[in-house]
Amino acid sequence: MAELRYNPLLNDWTMVSADRSKRPDMPKDFCPFCPDSGKVPADYDVLKYDNDFPILSQNPPQPDEVGSDFYKTDYSYGKCEVILYSPDHDGKFYDLSQAHIEKLVRLWQERFEDLKTDEKIKYIMPFENKGKEVGTTMIHPHGQIYAYAKMPLRLKLELKNSMDYFKETGENIFDRLIKEERAFKERIIFENDSFIVFLPFFANYPFETYIVAKDKISSFSDFTDKTVSDFAKTLKELTKAFDYVYNKPFPYMMAIYQEPVNSPEYAGVHDFYRFNVKFFPPLRGKNSIKYNASSETAAWVHGNPRRVEETAEELRRAYRSSVDEG
């Protein structure tokens, strides 16, 4: 059973699924994402794999009869996909070749184009959870895509604020972010022709890192061959730099933010929004976790335990070391 439950205090929806709690524990010597598992092709490089226990589906079950006119329920419509980055169970993302990562980017493109043809879908978010520190149980290199039929609250806020800023100033808010970071310089990690990588002034996590497209790109639909190449290189270099910060696997939550789909209320999105990637690494030290506690959870008021300019310098040093070592 899966359903959406309405939160009238926030004008938002919570995904509820009893079935996901029944997911079986995999044998320690078995991985369904490995080529010899019987669950995936015997030979692949990157692959879209439909989630075996989706919380959203295009044929959702009837919601439980537990709601009311006030406590509304709705169908858990959408799509949950797993994106396999590599057949190598223990592989590191940055050890993949440039050409291999470009195939992954093109798979993300393909899935975006396909999922947006479903007119019920409003937002498509590729994401990745890496490391036991963020609850990952499958170490095989992979990410996921959620296609939502309800606009997520964070995106509603980002899009509204971006739209309001554009109406007030005529400027894309991401161009202003880039301008501010370039003026200060100390929070920028690196950049190439298409993307700039920096720790934002307002970071909630010590190593929270943004990748922002420089040009008027708001989704994978706008990518050229050059953008694909530059994005693949950016991901390869940044993920490698992360592991060099503490010379160990660096956990993170990563999400790719794009324009909404099938949402005419966001007409002109190319003018006010921009394709970007946000990394939320939970580490505040080599062996210390930055937890979301009462203030973060109850009030959404985050407290960053470290000065962003200091952690940016640490990540920049790690980036230089990773580049120097090839």
Active site residues: 142
| 61, 1 contact by CB (below 8 A) | yes
How many whole angstroms separate alpha carbon 198 and alpha carbon 75? 39
- Residue 280 is encoded by which pair of tokens? 């939320």
Strand ranges of the sheet holding 2-7, from the earlier edge strand across to the other edge: 12-17, 2-7, 73-74
Distance, in Å, from the CA atom of 228 to the CA atom of 14, rounded to the nearest integer, reads: 34
Closest CA to 138 of 232, 204, 51: 51
Residue of 146, 142, 160 whose CA lies nearest to 4: 146
Secondary structure of residue 21 in the 3-state scheme: helix
DSSP-assigned letters across all residues of 6-19: EETTTTEEEEEESG
Tokens 């296609």 appear where?
147
Look up residue 182 and give its amino acid: R
Token pair 């359903």: residue: 3
Nearest to 278 by CA among 195, 211, 216, 223: 211
